[in-house]
């Protein structure tokens, strides 16, 4: 094996015309799931940029090295980065009694995703070089902070960012995954689900969630994206609905909201490494569920072939029945995912999220996540929020579906 000090690696911008096939093949060779569980592999549907194309500003870099005497070049690593403006705190209210008196504090925030290094070229500092190069681009674009997400038990990734790249462990959200059964999930008839227009959804999110950490300032772009399948508001069926304007000025006692993002049209996943016994059990559960749908058996979809999923984001709510209403929305989302032929529905929430109790999920498919953060521009004024990297976590976070 070539020593890292002798290996000549060039990091350059991705070229869609000449690099696409090789990058997709590299992606398929690299594990992207929790190492302690079944490994998830991603199929990018032939477009390595599909995970970042919807972001306001993005870049993809490749690490390339020469192979053999003929000067043939091989791509051995990739990284993606995107930049947006997002909430990092909130200003103190002038009128503490007003629910809308808090104002968000925004920062220019960069995100690192899709860092991959070929299995045959790991431990050669290629990942480090890719991160350093993408950070240079972040600084040139004026990003104040950069963050990344990884599985909490991925020691190699955590060590790279915290020990070699000076990132700090910041937030520990949970990825919650629910399989899509062969039967529809029953949605409580006492719950009314209202589909909001993108403009209505933008008004609701801006009024009620703009001070939540990581809330994107361009929320309208997300809600109007073709991958967004809609924003849904749940209230008790006996509550009067007089339109969003009335709701914003005088909300019902309890309510919940969420949006659905169609990841199925972006990339697919596939579970690898399952035993024949487990595969057989899962297949039997599906056959029984289809034959006896009235029993509502918790069947396991075929996750051992490429499958798509829907991502639930923007979850929020208020009132004593908010958890119950959230559960109803998740049931509604499950049935929508079944219509689209998805294998699972997934979401990501803060570890402190009060509504987590209303989100159905299987522990076998779910996992703990870790977000690490770094301040890139030290000469920024601390302003109202101070150094965000040292702030205490809030109850909720806003997970941007464009960064999955």
Q: What is the pLDDT of residue 86?
A: 97
Same domain, 192 and 64: no
Same domain, 89 and 107: yes
The helix/strand/coil state of 36 is coil
- d(CA 256, CA 388) in angstroms, rounded, equals 28
Q: What is the pLDDT of residue 231?
A: 98
Same domain, 276 and 150: no
Q: Band the pLDDT of 334: cuts 50, 70, 90.
A: very high
266 falls within a domain:
yes
Same domain, 209 and 283: yes
pTM across the whole model: 0.91
60 falls within a domain:
yes
Residues 6+ apart with CB under 8 A from 86: 106, 107, 109, 214, 215, 216, 217, 398, 400
Same domain, 55 and 129: yes
Rounded alpha-carbon distances, angstroms, from residue 282 to 38, 255, 274, 279, 348: 14, 36, 11, 5, 25
Same domain, 244 and 119: no
The pLDDT tens digits of the residues spanning 178-207 come to 999 999 999 999 999 999 999 999 999 999
206 falls within a domain:
yes
Same domain, 115 and 189: no
Give the CATH number of the domain where residue 76 resides. 3.40.630.30
Mean pLDDT calculated for residue range 62-79? 84
Same domain, 189 and 168: no
Report residue 318 as tokens: 């208020």
What's the number of domains the chain is made of?
2
Rounded alpha-carbon distances, angstroms, from residue 289 to 101, 107, 181: 50, 49, 8
Enclosing domain of residue 223: 176-368
DSSP state of 160: I
Q: Band the pLDDT of 72: cuts 50, 70, 90.
A: confident
Nearest to 208 by CA among 311, 108, 98: 98
Same domain, 322 and 191: yes
Mean pLDDT calculated for residue range 204-225? 96
Q: How many CB atoms are located within 10 Å of the residue 353 CB? A: 22
Q: How many CB atoms are located within 10 Å of the residue 35 CB? A: 13
Question: 125: burial class by Cβ within 10 Å (0-12, 13-18, 19+)?
Answer: middle
**pLDDT tops 80 at residue 316:** yes
Give the CATH number of the domain where residue 185 resides. 3.40.630
Nearest to 14 by CA among 124, 134, 104: 134
Rounded alpha-carbon distances, angstroms, from residue 236 to 191, 219, 241, 313: 5, 27, 10, 21
The pLDDT tens digits of the residues spanning 118-169 come to 988 988 899 999 999 999 999 999 999 999 999 888 899 999 999 999 999 9
Same domain, 242 and 374: no
Same domain, 183 and 269: yes
């Amino acid at each position: 094996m070539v020593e890292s000090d002798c290996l000549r690696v060039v990091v350059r911008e991705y070229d869609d015309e000449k690099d696409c096939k090789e990058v997709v093949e590299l992606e398929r060779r690299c594990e992207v799931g929790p190492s302690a569980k079944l490994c998830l592999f991603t199929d990018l549907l032939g477009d390595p940029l599909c995970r970042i194309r919807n972001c306001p500003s993005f870049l993809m870099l490749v690490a390339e090295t020469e192979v053999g005497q003929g000067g043939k070049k091989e791509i051995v690593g990739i990284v993606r980065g995107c930049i947006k403006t997002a909430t990092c705190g909130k200003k103190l209210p002038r009128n503490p009694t007003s629910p809308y008196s808090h104002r968000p504090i925004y920062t220019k925030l960069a995100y690192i995703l899709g860092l991959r290094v070929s299995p045959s070229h790991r431990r050669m500092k290629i990942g480090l070089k890719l991160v350093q190069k993408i950070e240079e681009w972040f600084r040139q674009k004026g990003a104040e902070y950069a963050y990344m997400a990884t599985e909490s038990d991925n020691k190699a990734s955590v060590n790279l960012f915290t020990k070699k790249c000076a990132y700090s462990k910041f937030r520990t959200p949970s990825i919650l995954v629910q399989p899509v059964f062969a039967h529809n999930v029953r949605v409580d008839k006492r719950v009314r689900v209202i589909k909001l227009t993108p403009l209505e959804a933008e008004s609701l999110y801006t009024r009620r969630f703009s001070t939540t950490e990581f809330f994107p300032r361009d929320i309208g772009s997300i809600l109007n994206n073709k991958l967004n399948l809609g924003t849904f508001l749940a209230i008790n069926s006996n509550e009067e609905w007089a339109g969003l304007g009335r709701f914003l000025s005088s909300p019902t006692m309890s309510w919940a909201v969420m949006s659905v993002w169609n990841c199925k049209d972006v990339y697919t996943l596939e579970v690898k490494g399952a035993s024949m016994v487990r595969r057989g059990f899962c297949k039997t559960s599906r056959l029984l569920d289809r034959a006896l749908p009235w029993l509502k058996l918790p069947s396991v979809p075929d996750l051992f072939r490429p499958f798509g999923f829907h991502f639930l984001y923007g979850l929020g709510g208020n009132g004593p029945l908010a958890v119950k209403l959230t559960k109803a929305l998740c049931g509604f989302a499950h049935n929508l995912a079944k219509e689209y032929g998805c294998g699972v529905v997934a979401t990501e929430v803060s570890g402190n999220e009060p509504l987590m109790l209303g989100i159905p999920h299987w522990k076998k498919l779910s996992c703990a996540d870790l977000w690490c953060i770094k301040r890139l521009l030290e000469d920024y004024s601390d302003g109202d929020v101070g150094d965000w990297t040292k702030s205490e976590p809030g109850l909720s976070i806003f997970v941007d579906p464009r960064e999955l």
